[in-house]
C-alpha cells in the first residue's frame, strides 16, 4: 500500500498500479486516447498527462506507476492546457466532417474538443491526402480521420493475433494500414471489427448495409425476414440509454415489426439447430475416431483465421454452417415452402453483433440454388440507427413475441452469445444423445466468465471428454499451437473471435462503461437460469423441423442445407 | 518459391528479428526491390507479419517495393544540388511522371529514387538515368530528357 494525494485529497493505492488506474478507481476522470485496458501502455497520445509535484514535466498517467507520497494534480492549468493543445493539433489535420460522420455524437475526439472548450482553429494545418479503403466486405477505413493512436494496431496484434495492419511510413506521411498499402480485403484481416470498437474516431467503421435493407423494406414485391443473434437483445438497449445488460427482447421484436419486417425470427432457434447438428457430429467423430478435437464453426472471423493461419487444422473444424447461415437457409427452403413464398422473392436480413458476419454472408459456399442464405447483415449499431431513423424508441415500445416457426428457442441457444456458451449447450445435448438422460446440473462453472482460455473435463456415460474454450484469437493460437504440437486430451474446442464472445463483438454498441460486457454476460446467464427449457433438443420447433423436413441430424437434407466447406487462403500474413 | 531470396534466407538461419534490416537490405540489393513474395518469405523465416515488415521498411527511405523502371532516375539530394535547386528538379519529376520516389510508372518505363550525394557536385543539380549523368538540369531540361527516353523506350518495345 502507498499513500498519495490527488487534487489535495488523500488516497491509498496498491504499489505498482499506474496513476490512471488509481484515478479511475477513485472516480477521477482523466481523458485518454491511446489507453487500452489490460494491454501494455504505449504512451502515444499524452492526453492523460497529470502534474506531479517535484517532477519537471507532465507525466502520462496511463504509463506511470504511483509512488508513496506522490502529490498529483489532474486538472492543473498546465495539464489542461497541454491536453487542449494536443486536441487542437489533432484537429489541425482533421477533416471538419462531424455532421456527416458516423461517430457524430459518440466520438472521443469530438467529445474532448467539447470538454476542453476548443472554440477556434488555432493551428491551420495542411490536411493530409488519404484514400478511403472500402475494399473490405466488413469495414471501411478512412485514414483522414485517423489520429494515429495505435489502438487498432495493438488490438489486431495482441488480442486477435492477426497483425493485419500496422504503422506505415513516418513523419507527415505516417499512416495505419495493411502491408503494401493494399486494401483490407486482400490482407490477413479477419473482419472481426475489434479495431472499430476501440477506434476513438470515425476512422474505422462498418461497411453499412442500411441502404439495401431500407430499399428491401420499401419494395412491396419482397418478403423481408429478419433474425437477431442471441447477444443482440442484451446489448441493443445501450444504444437507447438503457442500462447495460437489460434484456430488450420484447421491445426489440416490436420495433423490428414496426419497421416493416414481415417475420421476426430468433437466431437462437438456429443455434439450437446448430447444436443438434454439431452435437451429432461430435458424437460421430468420437465413435469413428476423429479428427479430434472438433473445432466450432459459428464465428466467421475465426473461420478465416484458421483458413489462412492453420490450414492443416481445417479438417478439425465442424462442417456446420453458423446459426446465421442455417436460419437463412431454412427460411428460404422449409419456411418458404410451408408458406408458399417464392424464395427468390424473399429477402433475408440478420442483426448481428459482428462485422465478420457481413463477410460470411457473402461467402459463395453459403448459398443454395444461386440464392444467398442471408442477403444483408446489420450490426447491432446499424439496427439501432434504423430504429432511430423511424422515430422509434426502445424505451417506450410494448413487448411482442417472435414469429413462428423460428421464434422458439431454448436458453442453450441463447448462451451462444457468450464465450463458453456453445460448449455448455453442446455438452447438454451430447449428454442426452450419448446416454438418453439429461445432465444433472446443466451448468459447467469452469467454462463461464470472461477468461480468454477455459478448460473442463466432463464425464458422460463413462466417457471422459476434454473441453476447451478460447475467445480472442491470440488465445486460440495458444491452444492451436498445443494441438499442433501433439496435445491429445481435447475432444471439443469452442472458439469465439471476440474476447468474451459475441457480447463483445465488433458490431456491438461502443460502450464507455467498462462494466458493460460483464453486465451483458450476466444477463445471458440469468436468462439461462430462469428458462423453462434449457436444452436445444427439447425445443419443440426443432423437433418439428426434423420430423417434417430435415429427417435426421447429419442426414441428406441437413448435409445440403446446413453444412459447408472451407478453403485455404493465400493472403499476406 | 523464390530461389534467390531463399539463398539469402539460408544465411540467416536461426536468427531473430534483429536481422530484419540487414536481411531486407540484402534482398533489395539482389532483387532491386522488395517484392510481395520476398516479404512473405522473410516473414515466414523471421516469424513476423507482413504488415510489421512493411511498416519497418517504410520507416526508412532506402527500400522500394516495386521493380525499378526501364529508366531508373536517381535524383541527387547532396548539399550542392540542394543549393542549386534539386527540390525543384524532384518536384518536376514527380509531377511529370505522377509517381513518388520509390515508385515506378504504370507503363514500367520510369522509376525515381532520391540518393545522397553522388559525387558530381560540379554538375549540380544532377540526375542520373541508368547511371548516365545529366548536368545542370532545369524543369525544361527534364521534360526534354523524359521525352528522349520515352521515345527510346517506345522504339525499344515496338521497333
Ligand atoms: S471522427 Fe469525430 S471529430 Fe472527426 S469528423 Fe467524425 S465525429 Fe467529427
Ligand atoms: S477487423 Fe480485426 S483483423 Fe481486421 S484489422 Fe480490425 S482487428 Fe485486425
Ligand atoms: S484508425 Fe482509429 S484506432 Fe487506429 S490508429 Fe487511427 S484513430 Fe487510432
Ligand atoms: S492515454 Fe496515456 S498516453 Fe495516451
Domain boundaries, chain A: 1-127, 128-207, 211-562
Nearest residue (CA) to ligand 2, atom 2: A192
Closest chain A residue by Cα to residue B47 = A573
Cell of A182: 493494399
Give the Cα separation of A302 and A296 in Å (integer): 9
Q: Using the structure block, give the residue that is written with the C-alpha cell 485455404.
A: A568
Answer CATH for A211-562 from 3.10.20.740, 3.40.50.1780, 3.20.20.70, 3.40.50.1000: 3.40.50.1780
Question: What pLDDT digit, counting tens, does each position of A295-308 carry?
Answer: 999 999 999 999 99
Q: Are residue B10 and residue B87 in the same domain, yes or no?
A: no
Together in a domain, B77 and B154: yes
Residues B77 and B102 in one domain: yes
Range B99-127 average pLDDT: 90
Model pLDDT for residues A172-188, shown as the tens digit of each residue: 889 999 999 999 999 99
> Whose C-alpha lies nearest to ligand 1, atom 3?
A110
- Supply the mean pLDDT for chain B: 90
Peptide bond before residue B125 is cis, with ω within 30 degrees of 0? yes
Domain that holds residue B108: 71-158
Residues B80 and B39 in one domain: no
Say how far apart CA A413 and CA A357 lie, in whole Å: 18
Of A206, A532, A147, nearest to A351 by C-alpha is: A206
**Same-domain status, B34 and B75:** no
Residue A573 has pLDDT above 90, yes or no: no
Best residue of B49, B98, B114 to probe chain A, by most A CBs closer than 10 Å: B49
Best CA proximity match to A63, nearest among A90, A84, A34: A34
Q: Is the pLDDT of residue A478 over 80?
A: yes
Residues forming a β-bridge with B75: B114, B127
Measured from the CB, is residue A324 less than 6 Å from ligand 1? no
Which 8-state DSSP code applies to residue A341?
-
Q: In terms of DSSP bridges, do strands A9-13 and A2-6 run parallel, antiparallel, or are they unpaired?
A: antiparallel
Residue A117 is placed in which grid cell? Answer: 472548450
Average pLDDT of chain A to the nearest whole number: 95
Mapped to the 3 state alphabet, what secondary structure does A293-317 carry?
CEECCCCHHHHHHHHHHCHHHHHHE
User: At B50, which helix (H) or strand (E)?
Assistant: helix B50-59
Residue A528: band (very low, low, confident or very high) from pLDDT cuts 50, 70, 90:
very high
Separation of A60 CA from ligand 4 center, angstroms?
6
In angstroms, what separates the C-alpha of A110 from chain B's closest C-alpha?
29
**DSSP character at residue A155:** I
With a 6 Å cutoff on the Cβ, whether A198 touches ligand 2 is: no
Buried b (16+ CB within 10 A) or exposed e, A5-14: ebeeeebebe
Whether residue A346 contacts residue A374, with contact meaning beta carbons closer than 8 Å, is answered with no
CATH class of A1-127: alpha beta
Residue A96's pLDDT is 86
Q: Return d(Cα A40, Cα A148) in angstroms, integer.
A: 17
pLDDT in tens, B4-26: 888 899 888 877 788 999 999 99
Q: At what angle do helices B20-31 and B3-11 cross, to 10 degrees?
A: 150
Structural domain contains residue B92: yes
Residue of A nearest to B61 (CA): A169
For residue A97, count other CB atoms closer than 10 A to its CB: 14
Q: Does position A373 have pLDDT exceeding 60, yes or no?
A: yes
What does the DSSP assignment read for A161-216? S----EEES-GGG-EEESGGG--GGGSS-----HHHHH-SSTTEEE---HHHHHHH
Q: Give the whole-angstrom CA distance, residue A67 versus residue A17.
A: 9
B51 touches chain A (CB under 8 A): yes
Same domain flag for B119 and B141: yes
Q: What is the structure's pLDDT at B3?
A: 74
HSE-up (13 A, CA, CB side) for residue A219? 14
From residue A228, give the alpha-carbon distance in Å to each of A261, A265, A322, A350, A385: 12, 7, 13, 6, 15
SS (H, E, C) A225-272: EEEECCCHHHCHHHHHCCCCCCCCHHHHHHHHHHHCCCEEEEHHHHHH
B36 inside 8 A of chain A by CB: yes
If asked whether residues B104 and B131 sit together in one domain, one would say: yes
Q: Are A378 and A213 contacting, i.e. CB atoms less than 8 angstroms apart? A: yes
A474 and chain B in contact, CB less than 8 A: no
For residue B127, is it within any domain? yes
Q: How far is CA A121 from CA A37, A90, A148, B50, in A?
A: 32, 11, 20, 39
Q: Flag whether B83 is in a domain.
A: yes
Q: Which letter does DSSP use for residue A62 in this model?
A: T
Name the band, by pLDDT with cuts 50, 70 and 90, for residue A395.
Answer: very high
* Ligand 1 and A107: CB distance under 6 A: yes
pLDDT at residue B157 above 80?
Answer: no
Render pLDDT for A111-144 as a digit per residue (tens, 0 to 9): 999 999 999 988 887 777 789 999 999 999 999 9
- With a 6 A CB cut-off, is A94 part of the ligand 1 pocket? yes
Q: Using an 8 Å Cβ cutoff, are A192 and A506 in contact?
A: yes
Residue of chain A with shortest Cα separation from B52 = A166
Catalytic residues of A: 278, 281, 298, 318, 357, 360, 365, 502
ipTM at complex level: 0.89
Spatial distance between the Cα atoms of A102 and A132, rounded to a whole number of angstroms: 14
Euclidean distance between CA atoms A205 and A261, whole angstroms: 25
Q: Do B105 and B135 belong together in one domain?
A: yes
Cell 525515381 maps to which residue? B112
Place of cell 466417457: A463
Give how many domains chain B has, as a whole number.
2
Do B103 and B131 have their domain in common? yes
pLDDT higher than threshold 70 for residue A321 = yes
Residue B65: inside a domain: no
Matching residue, cell 461502443: A510
**pLDDT tier, B51 (very low <50, low <70, confident <90, very high otherwise):** very high
The grid cell for B70 is 526501364
Region of residue B155 (left: phi > 0; alpha: psi -120 to 50; beta: else): alpha
Cell of A309: 493461419
What CATH number has the domain spanning A128-207? 3.30.70.20
Whether the per-residue pLDDT at A28 is higher than 70: the answer is: yes
CB contact under 8 A, A165 and B53: no
Give the domain CATH number at B103: 3.40.30.10
Residue B41, CA distances (Å) to A360, B31, B153 in order: 29, 14, 33
DSSP letter for A426, please.
H
Establish if B19 belongs to a structural domain. Answer: yes
- My answer on whether B76 and B153 are in the same domain is yes
Q: Is A384 on the interface with B (CB under 8 A)?
A: no
- In whole angstroms, give the CA distance from residue A230 to residue A235: 10
* pLDDT for residue A339: 95
C-alpha cell of B34?
522488395
Phi, psi angle pair for A166, to nearest 5°: -160, 175
Beta strands A376-379 and A346-352: pairing type? parallel
- Residue B50 contacts A, CB cutoff 8 Å: yes
pLDDT of residue B156: 80
Q: Is the pLDDT of residue A473 over 90?
A: yes
Helix (H, G, I), strand (E, B) or coil at A113: helix
A43 φ/ψ angles, rounded to the nearest 5 degrees = 65, 25
> Taking a C-beta distance cutoff of 8 angstroms, is the pair A458, A467 a contact?
yes
pLDDT digits (tens, 9 = 90+) for A266-295: 999 999 999 999 999 999 999 998 899 999
**Å from CA of A29 to ligand 3 middle:** 22
Q: Domain containing B19 — which CATH number?
A: 1.10.10
Query: Strand A223-228 vs strand A263-266: parallel, antiparallel, or unpaired?
Result: parallel
pLDDT score at A128: 76
- Residue of A136, A194, A305, A497 with the most ligand 2 atoms within 8 Å of its CB, for mutation: A194
Q: Across-strand partners of A167? A: A176
Give the closest residue to A170 by CA, choosing from B62, B71, B125, B44. Answer: B62
- ∠ CA(B52), CA(B57), CA(B63), 5° rounding? 155
B chain contacts of residue A188, beta-carbon cutoff 8 Å: 49-51
Give the number of C-alpha atoms closer than 13 A to the C-alpha of residue A393, restricted to the C-beta side. 5
List the single residue in A165, A169, A170 with the smallest CB-CB distance to B51. A165
* Residues B14 and B45 both lie in one domain: yes
User: CA–CA separation, A466 vs A490, rounded Å?
Assistant: 4
Contact B32, B130 (CB under 8 A): no
Bridge partners (DSSP) of residue B133 are: B128
Contact in structure between A318 and A200 (CB atoms under 8 Å) = no
Q: Tens of pLDDT along A29-69?
A: 999 999 998 899 999 999 999 999 999 999 999 999 999 99
Three-state DSSP state, B27: helix
Q: Kindly report the CA angle at B149 between B144 and B154, in degrees rounded to 5? A: 125
- Inter-residue contact A425 to A271 (CB < 8 Å): yes
Buried b (16+ CB within 10 A) or exposed e, A345-355: ebbbbbbbbbb
Query: How buried is residue A53: exposed, middle or buried, by Cβ count under 10 Å (0-12/13-18/19+)?
Result: exposed
Please give all residues whose beta carbon lies within 6 A of any atom in ligand 4, as ranges. Answer: A 32-35, 43-48, 60, 62
B90 in any annotated domain: yes
Per-residue pLDDT at B1: 53
Amino acid at each position: 500500500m502507498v499513500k498519495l494525494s490527488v487534487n489535495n485529497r488523500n488516497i491509498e493505492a496498491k504499489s505498482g498500479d499506474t496513476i490512471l488506474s488509481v484515478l479511475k478507481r477513485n472516480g477521477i476522470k482523466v481523458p485518454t486516447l491511446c489507453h487500452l485496458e489490460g494491454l501494455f501502455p504505449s504512451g502515444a497520445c499524452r492526453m492523460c498527462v497529470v502534474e506531479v509535484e517535484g517532477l519537471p514535466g507532465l507525466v502520462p498517467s496511463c504509463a506511470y506507476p504511483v509512488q508513496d507520497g506522490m502529490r498529483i494534480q489532474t486538472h492543473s492549468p498546465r495539464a489542461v492546457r497541454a491536453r487542449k493543445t494536443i486536441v487542437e493539433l489533432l484537429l489541425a489535420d482533421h477533416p471538419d466532417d462531424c455532421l456527416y460522420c458516423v461517430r457524430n455524437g459518440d466520438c472521443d475526439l469530438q467529445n474532448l474538443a467539447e470538454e476542453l472548450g476548443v472554440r477556434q482553429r488555432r493551428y491551420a494545418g495542411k490536411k493530409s491526402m488519404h484514400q478511403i479503403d472500402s475494399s473490405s466486405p466488413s469495414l471501411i477505413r478512412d485514414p483522414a480521420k485517423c489520429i494515429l493512436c495505435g489502438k487498432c494496431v495493438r488490438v489486431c496484434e495482441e488480442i486477435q493475433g492477426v497483425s493485419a495492419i500496422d504503422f506505415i511510413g513516418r513523419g507527415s506521411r505516417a499512416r495505419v494500414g495493411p502491408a503494401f498499402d493494399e486494401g483490407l480485403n486482400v490482407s490477413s484481416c479477419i473482419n472481426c471489427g475489434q479495431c472499430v470498437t476501440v477506434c476513438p474516431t470515425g476512422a474505422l467503421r462498418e461497411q453499412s448495409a442500411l441502404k439495401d435493407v431500407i430499399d428491401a423494406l420499401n419494395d412491396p414485391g419482397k418478403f423481408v425476414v429478419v433474425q437477431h443473434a442471441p447477444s443482440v437483445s442484451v446489448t441493443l438497449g445501450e444504444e437507447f440509454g438503457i442500462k447495460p445488460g437489460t434484456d430488450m427482447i420484447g421491445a426489440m421484436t416490436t420495433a423490428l415489426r414496426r419497421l416493416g419486417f414481415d417475420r421476426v425470427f430468433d437466431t437462437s432457434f438456429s443455434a439450437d439447430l446448430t447444436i443438434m447438428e454439431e452435437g451429432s457430429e461430435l458424437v460421430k467423430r468420437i465413435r469413428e475416431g476423429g479428427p479430434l478435437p472438433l473445432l466450432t464453426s459459428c464465428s466467421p472471423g475465426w473461420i478465416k483465421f484458421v483458413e489462412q493461419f492453420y490450414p492443416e487444422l481445417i479438417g478439425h473444424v465442424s462442417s456446420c454452417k453458423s446459426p446465421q447461415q442455417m436460419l437463412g437457409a431454412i427460411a428460404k427452403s422449409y419456411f418458404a415452402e410451408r408458406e408458399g413464398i417464392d424464395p427468390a422473392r424473399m429477402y433475408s436480413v440478420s442483426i448481428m453483433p459482428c462485422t465478420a458476419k457481413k463477410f460470411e454472408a457473402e461467402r459463395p459456399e453459403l448459398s443454395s440454388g444461386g440464392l444467398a442464405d442471408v442477403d444483408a447483415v446489420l450490426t447491432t449499431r446499424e439496427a439501432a440507427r434504423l430504429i432511430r431513423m423511424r422515430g422509434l424508441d426502445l424505451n417506450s415500445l410494448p413487448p411482442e413475441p417472435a414469429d413462428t416457426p423460428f421464434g422458439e428457442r431454448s436458453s442453450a441457444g441463447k448462451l451462444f452469445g457468450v464465450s463458453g456458451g456453445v460448449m455448455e449447450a453442446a455438452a447438454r445435448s451430447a449428454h442426452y444423445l450419448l446416454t438418453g438422460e439429461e445432465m444433472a446440473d446443466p451448468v459447467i462453472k469452469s467454462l463461464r466468465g470472461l477468461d480468454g482460455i477455459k478448460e473442463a473435463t466432463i464425464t458422460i456415460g463413462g466417457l471422459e471428454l476434454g473441453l476447451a474454450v478460447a475467445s480472442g484469437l491470440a488465445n486460440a493460437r495458444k491452444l492451436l499451437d498445443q494441438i499442433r504440437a501433439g496435445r491429445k486430451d481435447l475432444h471439443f474446442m469452442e472458439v469465439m473471435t471476440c474476447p468474451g464472445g459475441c457480447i463483445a463483438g465488433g458490431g456491438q454498441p461502443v460502450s464507455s462503461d467498462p462494466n458493460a460486457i460483464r453486465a451483458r454476460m450476466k444477463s445471458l446467464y440469468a436468462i439461462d437460469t430462469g428458462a423453462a427449457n434449457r436444452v436445444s433438443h427439447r425445443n419443440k420447433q426443432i423437433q418439428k423441423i426434423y420430423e417434417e423436413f430435415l429427417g435426421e441430424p447429419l442426414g441428406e437434407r441437413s448435409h445440403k442445407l446446413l453444412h459447408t466447406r472451407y478453403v485455404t487462403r493465400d493472403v499476406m500474413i | 518459391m523464390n530461389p534467390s531470396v531463399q539463398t539469402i534466407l539460408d544465411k540467416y538461419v536461426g536468427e531473430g528479428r534483429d536481422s530484419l534490416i540487414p536481411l531486407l537490405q540484402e534482398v533489395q540489393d539482389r532483387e532491386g526491390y522488395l517484392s510481395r513474395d520476398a516479404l512473405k518469405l522473410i516473414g515466414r523465416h523471421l516469424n513476423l507479419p507482413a504488415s510489421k515488415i512493411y511498416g519497418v521498411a517504410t520507416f526508412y527511405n532506402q527500400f522500394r517495393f516495386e521493380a525499378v523502371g526501364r529508366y531508373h532516375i536517381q535524383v541527387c539530394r547532396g548539399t550542392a544540388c540542394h543549393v542549386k535547386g534539386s527540390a525543384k528538379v524532384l518536384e518536376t519529376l514527380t509531377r511529370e511522371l505522377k509517381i513518388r520516389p520509390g515508385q515506378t510508372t504504370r507503363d514500367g518505363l520510369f522509376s525515381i529514387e532520391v540518393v545522397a550525394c553522388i559525387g558530381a557536385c560540379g554538375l549540380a543539380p544532377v540526375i542520373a538515368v541508368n547511371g548516365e549523368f545529366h548536368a545542370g538540369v532545369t524543369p525544361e531540361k527534364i521534360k526534354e530528357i523524359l521525352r528522349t527516353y520515352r521515345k527510346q523506350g517506345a522504339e525499344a518495345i515496338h521497333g
